[in-house]
Structure 1
Amino acid sequence: MDITSFRTPGLGDQTYLLTYEGKGVLVDPQRDIGRFLDAAAERDVELRFVLETHIHNDYVSGGEQAALRTGAELVLPAAATPAYRHTPAFHLEDIDGGAGLTLRPIHTPGHTPEHTSYLVLVDGEPVALFSGGSLLVASAGRPDLLGPERARSLARLQHGSLHRLAALPPGVGLYPTHGEGSFCTASGAGRLTSTIGAEREGNPMLAIDDPEEFADAMLTAPMPIPAFYRHMGPANTLGAPPMPAVRVPELDAAPEGSHVVDIRPRGVQARGMLPGSAGIELDEDFGSWTGWLLPYAEPITLVAEPGQDVTEAVTQLAQIGIDTVRGVVRHPGPDATQTYELAGLDVFVKRLAQPRAQLLDVRMPSEREQVRLPGTVERFLPDLFVQGVPAELDPERPVLVACASGRRAAIAAGFLAGRGYRPVALNGAGIAEVADALRQHHTA
């Protein structure tokens, strides 16, 4: 038996391909199924099953399309009841994979009500567990994504599910779908895979014996929920169309009515963007930030460097169901008048010491609890896009913007520049480094 993982870093998720005796089992595939089917073909594997652990909240599933393309049997939790054809997985009703391979569904509600994990047995011996959004590496799947009304009830259920899985033999491999970088985890998830034994010893969520105490831990200071998440459940319940081919026509200008997203490196963006555009540098989390910050699935025009490959940008958007890219502008030209300043740590701290400086912190609330600076204006980046610029900021004075590394600060700086402010984005460092530099300056 072999298990291959496919990491999607920007979403913090993993898809798995289990191969055994020439047969394949695909677990929690994302919408861009070509990479999984190609891997199966390269291994000369016949895809026998496609397993879904739950109705996903963070991406559009490719499960139905993978099954249709290959003739594999699509298996979903019995309580999921999607609109398309599938085999329901009932608690502890084994699925025979042939040649000694058995898939055993284990109902593990908590992340979602229908959530089901799959225990893999070879010749009757348990060897691997696909735990989806239930037991994660050093963490657990969030119970609050379906709304605050059900969060506490789901958290108590998650407590029972985690301990049910922890009772499996210690040598069973743990293969969760959600991991580090996913907003579906209750905390940083650390390593990507583990074993039941390792989690028994080191997972802090398993150390909590009382369900109410567990719920308190899960629901105290939860991480924000990306805006596009609310569209994923309905898409995965009704069934998503096949991922369209990546065709991005070259445009001389953005069509009227489309949102302009500049994916060029932030150093290029800072020198000039099209007025009103959003500067979201192409990186592994590009799709997530675009889906979070802009109105969902409305028309988008990309601005890219000459020769810059836009395929990755379009793919990331399609993974969360956004198929509305109208084209790409390669030469924004003299109209690119929206500018901001990028500054390294030393320059940023010097600018901050000037009398007219204003500091905007765009980190999320839980990050601010770790370190914050007095006198700082605080607004989480998505809230900046939704609520607008804080009233405390004076457009006549420079606005110094910081986050934890520079990624969000650059996005915020572009937003501020488009609204008449003079932003300076801290690049390559964050609030923690600023605090350290100021502390060293005062003690020198």
Structure 2
Amino acid sequence: MTSHINVQVIETSSLGDRSYLATDGTVALVVDPQRDVDRVLALAGSLGVRVTHVVETHIHNDYVSGGLELSRLTGATYGVAAADDVNFAHTPISDGDVWEISPNMRLHAIATPGHTFHHLSYALDGPEGTEDVFTGGSLLFGTTGRTDLLGQQHAETLARHQHASARRLADLLPAGTRVWPTHGFGSFCSAGQVSGKDSTLEQQSRTNPALRLAEDDFVTETLAGLDAYPAYYAHMGVKNLAGPDPIDLRAPETAEPQRLRQRLAEGEWVVDLRHRKAYFDAHLAGTVSLGLDGPMTTWLGWMIDWGAPLTLLGESRDQVAQAQRELARIGIDRFAAAAAGTPEELAAAPQQIRAMASTDFTALAQAMSGTVPEGLPTPDVVLDVRMNNEWRDSHIVGAVHIPLPELPRRIGEIPDGAVWVHCGSGYRATAAASLLDAADRCAIVINDTFATAADKGVPTVTPE
């Protein structure tokens, strides 16, 4: 797909979101920027363009916006839906408003309620007419934004709005218009499974339930597919309405081994950012495994008590800095401490260092049939820490199901004995096993892909 307007994607894969910079080669429009706006400024600088306008499609629930700070730094006009009662200087935008970004770019605001009541999409005209539409949490690739973030009582009403909004976009804009959603690349703001990395309205008309299904069918399907969403979402809208503070990426205080041991002894959150395979080999007892190779931010933000002391452990200072940046995007930017090095370097005493056993579904199948592989304990409990929708799709016969975000407060519900824990791939299972280990439970990680479990002989239930 070609265009006279150059749209650059600013990916935040750890949260499943995208921001956008659209430029005619001289000036730029930025849509839904994340809090770490240095990425936007660096991109604009590399393109040799000036950011003159910043807009939000909606008040975000899954991250802290960088729109206000970006407008402060660049002097850009900052547009927010007129109906949103925000607490900072901005230019209100309403349905039908048109902004002249440049002689080559014109922005049209289109009311598309559904993800929120005041949601806006933005159609962007180039020299030959509408070329792009920024759909935020409205029309996603193969699905739409979820409709329950403002409360379950509004979910059905917003689902009906979402259906109408998707069809409004399809009716108003040319079929070849490129679709640029903010959510849907792993974000829990998505109502369903996303398909594809780029699309047009014409392509969505063939694949998106909002454009294929009648309203009642769409509403039924959307509401049935909604699962739990991260607890930290409760804090994002409040921050974004008030006007977020600028990001602070200064290095935390360094935790020396003795102080680190004390924090662990006091039961504080100490997160090991290394890959889980390194965690299996050696880690400090009491640490929680949430590697930077996975959605660390989402799961940590979901499980931790908001404002609780948090210490980050990485292989290097760069790894700690990366984690800081990712956590700052959801408003966690005050840390008790941080440290970098190997477990041996960070331990105050050798007995702090532990290993963690890992296995696969082939071994579980053998153990469930009565032949336990050498070196592993009998699985007294098989613990599934996937989300509810995953469990409903398919699960292991006899497994105990506790979604990872609920595990910190529900460990006491797990029956006695050795726990073999699994998720979809091993990432969440390792986090869960580390929590169990910290609670003095025997935990073994099934570091394997659940989609292969049945083929490897594990008895599973697949509801029709």
TM-score by length of 2: 0.89
Give the drift of 1:202: 1.8
Task: Measure how far apart 1:66 and its partner are.
Answer: 0.3
Identity percentage over the alignment? 34
Q: CA deviation at 1:161?
A: 0.4
Q: Deviations over 1:43-85 (max 9, x none)?
A: 1111110010000010000000000000000001111121011
CA distance in 2, matches of 1:328, 1:291: 17
Aligned mates of 1:341, 1:352 — CA distance in 2: 18
1:31 lines up with 2:35 in the alignment: yes
Q: Structure 2: which 5+ residue stretches go unaligned?
A: 373-377, 460-464
Of 251, 269, 281 in structure 1, the residue corresponding to residue 291 of structure 2 is 281
Distance 2:320 2:305 in 1: 20
Letter in 2 for 1:193: D
Q: Would the aligned equivalents of 2:106 and 2:124 in 1 still touch at CA under 8 Å? A: yes
From 160, 169, 176, the counterpart of 1:156? 160
Amino acid at match of 2:201: I
Q: 2:246 aligns with which of 242, 247, 254?
A: 242
Shift of the alpha carbon at 1:38? 0.8
Map of 1:259 onto structure 2: 269
1:156-185: CA deviations, max 9, x gaps? 111110110111210111101012211111
Counterpart among 184, 189, 196 of residue 194 in structure 2: 189
Deviation at 1:102, TM superposition (A): 1.1
- The aligned runs of 1:259-338 (5 Å cut-off) are 259-305=269-315, 309-329=319-339, 330=341, 331-333=345-347, 334-337=350-353
User: How many angstroms apart in 1 are the aligned matches of 2:17 and 2:93?
Assistant: 22
Provide the residue aligned with 2:430 in structure 1. Answer: 410
Contact 2:11-2:17 at 8 Å conserved across structures: yes
In the alignment, is residue 233 of structure 1 matched against residue 233 of structure 2? no
SS at match of 1:437: coil
Give the 3-state SS of the residue equivalent to 2:131 in structure 1: strand
Relative to the length of structure 1, the TM-score reads 0.93
Could you say which residue in structure 1 is the equivalent of 2:455? 436
Could you tell me how far apart the structure 1 residues matched to 2:231 and 2:431 are? 17
> How many Å apart are 1:21 and its aligned residue?
4.4
Secondary structure in 1 aligned to 2:306? Answer: coil
Residue 223, structure 1, aligned to residue 253, structure 2: no
Structure 2 counterpart of 1:420? 440
CA distance in 2 between partners of 1:142 and 1:226 (Å): 13
User: What is the Cα deviation at residue 337 of structure 1?
Assistant: 4.6
Matched, 1:59 2:75: no
- 2:398 aligns to what SS in structure 1? coil
State whether structure 2 residue 357 is matched by structure 1 residue 341: yes
- Alignment correspondent of 1:132: 136
CA contact (8 A) 1:416 1:423 kept: yes
The change in CA–CA distance for 1:308 and 1:351 in structure 2 (over 3 A counts) is farther
Give the aligned CA root-mean-square deviation in angstroms: 2.0
Question: Structure 1: any 5+ residue segments left out of the alignment?
Answer: none
CA distance, structure 1, for counterparts of residue 355 and residue 318 of structure 2: 21
- Change in 2 beyond 3 A, CA 1:423/1:8: same
Residues 179 and 191, structure 1, Cα contact 8 Å, conserved in 2: no
1:308 deviation in Å?
Answer: 6.0
Q: 1:373 aligns with which of 387, 393, 396?
A: 396
- Per-residue deviation at 1:271? 4.1
* Secondary structure in 2 matching 1:261: strand
Q: Classify the secondary structure of the residue corresponding to 2:393.
A: coil
- The structure-2 alpha-carbon separation of the partners of 1:91 and 1:374, relative to structure 1 and needing over 3 Å to count, comes to same
Q: Does the aligned pair in 1 maintain the 2:361–2:458 contact within 8 Å?
A: no
Measure how far apart 1:201 and its partner are: 1.6
Query: 363, 387, 393: which is aligned to 2:386?
Result: 363
Distance 2:293 2:394 in 1: 26
Q: After TM superposition, where is structure 1 displaced by more than 4 Å over at least 4 residues in a row? A: 255-258
Displacement of 1:306 after TM fit? 5.2
Aligned to 2:284, what secondary structure does the other structure show? coil
Alpha-carbon distance between aligned partners in 2 of 1:353 and 1:63, rounded to the nearest angstrom: 57
Tell me how far apart the structure 1 counterparts of residues 162 and 314 of structure 2 sit (CA, whole Å).
Answer: 44
1:113 aligns with 2:113: no
Inter-partner Cα distance in structure 2 for 1:320 and 1:306: 22
Shift of residue 339 of structure 1?
4.5
- Which of the residues 198, 203, 207 maps onto 2:203? 198
**Against the structure 1 CA distance between its residues 422 and 176, is the aligned structure 2 distance closer, same or farther, given a 3 Å change threshold?**
same
Worse overlay, 16-25 or 249-258: 249-258
Indicate the larger mover: 342-351 or 74-83. 342-351
Residue by residue, what CA displacement relative to the aligned partner does 1:22-58 show, whole Å, maximum 9, x if unpaired? 0100000000100111110111111110010000010
Residues 77-116 of structure 1 aligned to structure 2 (within 5 Å):
77-116=81-120
